[in-house]
Amino acid sequence: MRKKGLDILRAIAVILVLFRHSDLDNIIQHFGWLGVDLFFVLSGFLISNILFVEYTTFGFISIKRFFIRRVFKIFPPFYFFLLSTLLFNYLFNITTLNWERLTSELLYLQSYLPRIWMHTWSLSVEEHFYILFSISIFIISKKNLLKKKEIIITSLLLLILLSFLMRLYISYPHKNDDSFGFTQSHLRSDGIIMGILLSYLHNFTQWSKKLLKNKWLIFIISGLLIAPGFCFKGGGFFMNTIGLTTVNLGFSFLVLLSIDLEKYLVNGSLKYLKIPLNTFCFVGVNSYSIYLWHLNSKNIIYSFFSYNPLFMTIMYISLSIGIGALMSYLIEKSFLRLRDYVFSKKNLH
């Protein structure tokens, strides 16, 4: 069952990325780079929650089932996007084919090696997470360690600290640089790990229920933790180190608050915002394909039009959502239906 609150956060994440890659010079554009990290926190929570719920329900985790479901979800939209855009560029002599970059894209090594598209490095980070986490959690469950709360929570906190220390190590020599960027999976993993930690606490402890008794306090704390992203420049030393950690923690609290948003849409204080929030849900449901196609959509707009930045941004974002939603229904959802059919026929476990 889909959670509307999480779909709304997906929509916020992809809209932030769209604004980041626009030519507007405003606070949303400056903060937009963190939309990717919001995606990471969401992915960490959602993917780990699938496996944690499977374990608490059935007492085991099927790694084969997990991988097959991920393959149907992730690979078809990405490879269709990659190959179709490459074919288009090749036929119209826009770019020459670079085999090293193509190999990097095909093997999901974009976070470490040169790539064709600027934004696909984040897909590599997530794919590395899917592989490493699922194997790790499969082994942990086999060893009956998943319910050892002290061990699991301490391990996750240490991994978050390790990710921070690695970022500090690589960023310190560039502390006086105006901007220093990095995309390597091990340096951008703490958001994902925070999502996993949140999911573990949600499934195996009463911690989340206790926190949600003070929703407004959690909302304020979340806002304070996210605030550095608005106050400090992306790529600067502070945001590369402490800032990114605090923002990811703030995103984690937002995810926690969004889990049960449906009841507020039905009979709570947000029921009058149902229509605009449902629009956000639509964007969130199709956010993967929107993210894949947004830079290609921008290239199309800038090839045919030349107006002021605001008009170009509206056109580019509109086309990104339109093409992304279309590709979501044609490719992504088609393969998801095929996946459900295969699972129903084969009874895969």
In total, the chain counts a number of residues equal to 349
Separation between Cα atoms, residue 94 and residue 24, nearest integer Å: 26
- Residue 349 reports pLDDT greater than 60: no
Q: Is 165 exposed, middle or buried (0-12, 13-18, 19+ CB in 10 A)?
A: exposed
Nearest partner of 192 among 122, 292, 135, judged by Cα? 122
Tell me the average pLDDT of the chain.
Answer: 91
DSSP class of residue 349 equals: -
Residue-wise pLDDT for 136-169, tens only, equals 998 998 888 998 999 999 999 999 999 999 999 9
Residue 24, CB-side half-sphere exposure with 13 Å CA sphere: 21
- Give the pLDDT of residue 264: 66
**DSSP code of residue 187:** G
Residues 270, 262: Cα–Cα separation, whole Å: 9
Two tokens at 157? Answer: 């906190």
Do the Cβ atoms of 301 and 315 come closer than 8 Å?
Answer: yes
pLDDT at residue 348 tops 60: no
Q: Of 54, 193, 73, 74, which is closest to residue 133 (Cα–Cα)?
A: 193
The tens digit of pLDDT for each residue in 34-66 reads: 999 999 999 999 999 999 999 999 888 888 889
Comparing 270 with 188, the larger pLDDT belongs to 188
Mean pLDDT of 110-120: 94
Cα separation, 166 vs 172, in Å, equals 10
Helices (H) and strands (E) in the chain — how many of each?
A: 18, 0
pLDDT more than 90, % of the chain: 73
The DSSP 8-state label assigned to residue 6 in this structure reads H
Structure confidence by residue, pLDDT tens digits, 237-294:
999 999 999 999 999 999 999 987 776 666 665 666 777 778 899 999 999 999 999 9
Domain ranges of the chain: 4-346
Q: What's the CA gap between 18 and 320, in Å, rounded?
A: 8
Highest mean pLDDT among 87-96, 253-262, 293-302: 293-302
> Quick one: pLDDT band at residue 93, thresholds 50, 70, 90?
low
* Burial of residue 84, with CB atoms counted within 10 A of its CB: 0-12 exposed, 13-18 middle, 19 or more buried: middle
Q: What pLDDT is recorded for position 344?
A: 78
